[in-house]
Amino acid sequence: MSVRSRAVRDRKSRIGRIARHLNREHGSVRPDDVVNLAVGCGIKTSRPEVVHVLVRLQLRRR
């Protein structure tokens, strides 16, 4: 696996960790909240990427 794909997988797993934590704490997850928290933690991400991760984790419908 290349360094680039490993970095993408790591970034998506961090986003998923943040989303699961917010879901546990608040009962719901908004993509904008996840983006803001991720950027605050130093993770470069975008709203479409966060939405994709949330759909994959079944925390949001398509």
Per-residue confidence (pLDDT) for residue 1, from 0 to 100 = 83
The token pair at 56 is: 């994959």
22, 17, 16, 25: which is closest to 53 by C-alpha?
16
What pTM, to 2 d.p., does this model score? 0.89
Q: For the residues 6-17, what does the mean pLDDT come to?
A: 96
Confidence of residue 60 (pLDDT cuts 50, 70, 90): confident
44, 41, 53, 52: which is closest to 16 by C-alpha?
53
Cα 56–chain centre separation: 10
